[in-house]
Chains A and B, each alone.
Chain A
Amino acid sequence: MKLYNYELSGNCYKLRLLMSFLGVDYETEAIDFYPGQKHKSPDFRQINPLGQLPAIEDNGLVLRDAQAILVYIASKYDADGTWYPAQDPALLGQVMQWLAFADGITATASAARLHDGLYYSHIDVEAARKGAHTLFRILDEHLFFAEDAGQAWICPSDQPTIADIACFPYIMLSEEGGINRMDYPAIRRWCDRFKRIPGFIVMPGIFPAGPAFEKPAA
């Protein structure tokens, strides 16, 4: 599999995360997203006419859109079927619901980050920040009650799903867009749990977590 990649892109990072969690081998082709704008080049638009990262090529299949690729990789390479629980309709519905929510995070938190860091000056940054806070309030409340019910992840499964992956990067990178997470303690705890999933990797802007607490043997 080949991933068209930009190291500082949270959307590309979603795919690097899942492939690391699943132990899938892949190669990358680095795209000079900034300042080169090579994702808008004619060459790249033949791979993705939308001119957006990421995209993959796998055995002749060309696929774009981070969430779509998450669904594809999890369906194809996760033998246990936990990342994309296709066999459980109620759970699957919730995964899809939070994937759509993750698109909202990208449209707000990621937009604010592009504005502040890479000078995407056409973005209304105040509106983007406000939109991100609205979503974070909803997710924080959701995660508070999930924790209260003994659940660690966004969807009610014992295992994390691609919904967690889809939401994680632009939440962790939100401060680069001037979106503070102090008001979201349940999100901050979920971020720590996410970083402790075996196979977790970092990207620039995101630090690893320390070792998890293990109850000492009695």
Chain B
Amino acid sequence: MPCTDSVALNLWYPVTALEDITSKPLHTLLLEEPLIIRHDGTSQVHTRGRTLPVRESYGYLWTSLGTSQEDLFPIPEYTEDDRRNVHAATIGVQTSAPRSIENFLDMGHFPYVHTNILGAEPHTEVKEYTVEVSTECDEIRATNCLFWQPMAAAASSAGAEVNYIYRVPHPYCAVLYKSSPANPDRLDVIAIFLQPETQERVRAHMMLCLLDETTSNREIRLFQQTIFGQDKPILENQFPKRLPLDPRAETPIRADKSAIAYRRWLSEKGITYGVIPSAA
């Protein structure tokens, strides 16, 4: 069934990493529409005889099926001279885009899903953090998120609390900022851009802007893929796959503050694609 969500149709979506583009046409799916990506000097995206608008941002080719796209959200760090931008992977997952965003915002699962990397028992507490919907740019921001991590600093064996900031600037994209091991005063950036192929299947594109000068691109990619590979069986075992927006559909706790705000934000935007809307 084609997408009828006018909000979703008008958004920009990543459809491939620029580095994956060759002279061979690429076939992919966006909101159930089959796309063909061709390249001869410039990249074009076609669907059912239509030529779609394109833009190149953050290492990906973006397109939209709608007509009234706004500008794409900013990630200012992407253009900082001393940062390395790495496309970690594009991975297919049998889940909805909003489920995937919620998992990206979630810290409570670190000890259980990313055991001994991003978390370890018994350090399971999610401390109070701040969530707000930024009025000037319509995005969700979670700040002052602290979590104990065993591999926080390469030199330390005792583990330490790491500070995270999360942004959700797009219904299907999220960006996190995390203390950089290379530079204690600045933050590394990890972004997830979701391309919903259908309501219940996504292509997850993962991008990093790091200050790290010693770790190779290969190691960064493999680390990020390990983390995402650990999330995958969780995402694919969630039921229902579409995110329920009814507050009583699941049981939120204080740690889920950012997810609560995200669900309400999606409701208020009128998003229906990839979610189960709350009965009015």
Contact = CB atoms under 8 A, between A and B. Distances in A.
Interface of A: 6-8, 30, 32, 34-36, 38, 116-119, 121, 175-176, 178, 203-207
Nearest to B112: A207
A171 to B, nearest CB: 13
Contact of B91 (A36, A38, A118, A178): A118
Contacts of B203: 119
A41 to B, nearest CB: 12
Given A32-B218, A35-B89, A178 B94 contact: yes
Interface residues of B, number: 27
B142 to A, nearest CB: 25
Nearest to A7: B226
A6 B221 CA distance: 11
Given A8-B225, A34-B89, A176 B20 contact: no
Interface in B63-109: 87, 89-94
Contacts, number: 60
A30 B90 contact: no
Contacts of A30: 218-219, 222
Interface in B224-258: 225-230, 232-233, 236-237
Contact of B226 (A116, A176, A178, A204): A204
Nearest to B19: A35
B91 A7 contact: no
Given A175-B236, A176-B232, A203-B229, 12 more contacts: A6-B222, A7-B225, A8-B229, A32-B222, A36-B218, A36-B221, A117-B93, A119-B90, A119-B203, A176-B233, A204-B230, A205-B230
A36 B90 CA distance: 11
B17 interface: yes
B205 to A, nearest CB: 11
B232 A205 contact: yes
Given A7-B222, A30-B219, A116 B92 contact: yes
Contacts of A7: 222, 225-226, 229
Contacts of B230: 204-205
B39 interface: no
A8 B224 CA distance: 11
Contacts of A38: 218
B218 to A, nearest CB: 4
Nearest to A172: B233
Given A35-B89, A175-B236, A178-B94, A205 B229 contact: yes
A112 to B, nearest CB: 11
A76 B37 CA distance: 51
A119 B195 CA distance: 14
Contacts of B127: none
Contacts of B236: 175-176
18 contacts: A7-B222, A8-B226, A30-B218, A35-B87, A35-B221, A116-B92, A117-B92, A119-B90, A119-B203, A175-B236, A178-B94, A203-B229, A204-B225, A204-B226, A204-B230, A205-B229, A205-B233, A207-B233
